[in-house]
Structures are given as C-alpha cells and as structure tokens.
Amino acid sequence: MRFSLSRGLTVLIATVFLIFFWILLRKLNQKHYTQTCNHSEKFHQGLHDLGERAHTVLSALGLTHFLCFGSLWGQLRLSRSLPWESDIEICLLNEELIAKDELYVARTFRNKDMYLEYDSTEGVYLVTDSNLPGATVQLIVFEKDPIINMLRRVGWKRRVLPPDCESLPSLNCFPPRLIKPPLPLKEFGGYVISVPREGIEIQKYHYPGNWWKEVLPKNC
C-alpha cells in the first residue's frame, strides 16, 4: 500500500510539473497584437525624453546598459523608435544590478520624477512617468550563464528552464563579446545612447527566424 501511494504521488507530481511546463511554454510563445501602428510625434518625443532620462540615471549609477530588441531595430533602421512602439527596451546586467541597493536605485529614479516597478516573472523593471501616460522604458535584465558562457534573460518563469539556447529561444541568449566595453554610442530619437557591438549581430540571436527582414506588427 505504501509503495502504491508513493508511486501515485510521484506520478501526480510529474503530471503537475508537465502541465505547468506546457502552460509556461505557451505563455512564452504567446503573440500580442499592436493597438496603435503610428503614435504621434508628440508621444514619441516624450518617449525618447523618458528614455534619455532613464539612460542618464543608469549612467550615474554606473550600470552597463544598451538598446536591445525592438528599440535596437528602431535605432538600426530609423535612429529612433519604430512608429508603433510605446516603450523603449534597454538591457542591463544582473551581476552589476545586484551589487546596488534596490531602494537606492528606486529612489534615484524617483528623484528624477520616474517610477520603478519590477516584474519578477519577466525579469524586467518598468520605468514610467505619470506625466507621460502610455510611455514605458523596459529595463530587461540579463545574466551570464557560466555553463554555456552566454548571457540569458532572468525572471522566475525562465529559472525552471535548462540552459539550452537553441531549443529555448525565450532565454534570448547572446555571447558576451557583443557587450564588451566600451560600447558604441549611436543616435536614438535625438539623443545618444550605447548599443551592442557588431551592429545587427545581436539581433541574429534574438530574432533567429527573421532577423534579415523587416517584420511589421500583425495589424499594421
């Protein structure tokens, strides 16, 4: 009886884990539709101003940071945000971030009229200004995985995933050489900000299936 109970419990735990893993993968691959294809010039100017203010604070804190994902596409193609973007994506390094006092970091942003909120599921800090509704700067945190010698996204939903960059694109892995200091500086929305090395190279890792072509949002 004890053996059967133990075996049944093991099967139940394994089943629950598989269901959780399946739901997690579906959520990671979930697609969202863009609500606005062309934001106003006034909105984008405010968005770029917010990005510059966040960049200034990060520089003052001594944190390595660089444009990434959709914002890097915007810089590469237009030297500004893409028309449909309502956020700016800046990537950070967890090793540097955890060396800072979290309350001090939040207070530094608040002193510049910005508010910092952490999404532990995604491993992303959201920077907002109440005077700029709808505009957000995403601070996306990466850490180096010593097993594979690659940088990968943090966030609890990725903690359960093995370090398999090829099979799990949601880890957003890329090699450390692309952010070796000093980082290049490029124009972005009328300001200058750091970007990864080798131009488009990091996008080959983050968009392996279509990095060579322009992909518009589904409804644009």
143, 95 contact by CB (below 8 A): yes
Query: What average pLDDT does the chain have?
Result: 90
Percent of the chain with pLDDT over 90: 74
Q: pLDDT confidence of 163, banded at 50, 70, 90?
A: confident
Domain architecture of the chain: domains with CATH: 40-206 (3.30.460)
Q: pLDDT confidence of 1, banded at 50, 70, 90?
A: very low
Give per-residue pLDDT as tens, 128-162. 999 999 999 999 999 999 999 999 999 998 888 88
Tell me: pLDDT of 26 over 90: no
Q: pLDDT at position 27, please? A: 54
Tell me: pLDDT of 5 over 80: no
Cβ density class 200-217: b for 16+ within 10 Å, e for less = eebbebbbeeeeeeeeeb
Tell me: pLDDT of 67 over 60: yes
Tell me: pLDDT of 15 over 80: no
Report the C-alpha gap between 113 and 122 in whole angstroms: 24
> What is residue 132's three-state secondary structure?
coil
Query: What is the mean predicted confidence (pLDDT) over 11-34?
Result: 59
Q: pLDDT confidence of 18, banded at 50, 70, 90?
A: low
Between 176 and 36, residue with greater pLDDT: 176
Give per-residue pLDDT as tens, 76-87. 999 999 999 999
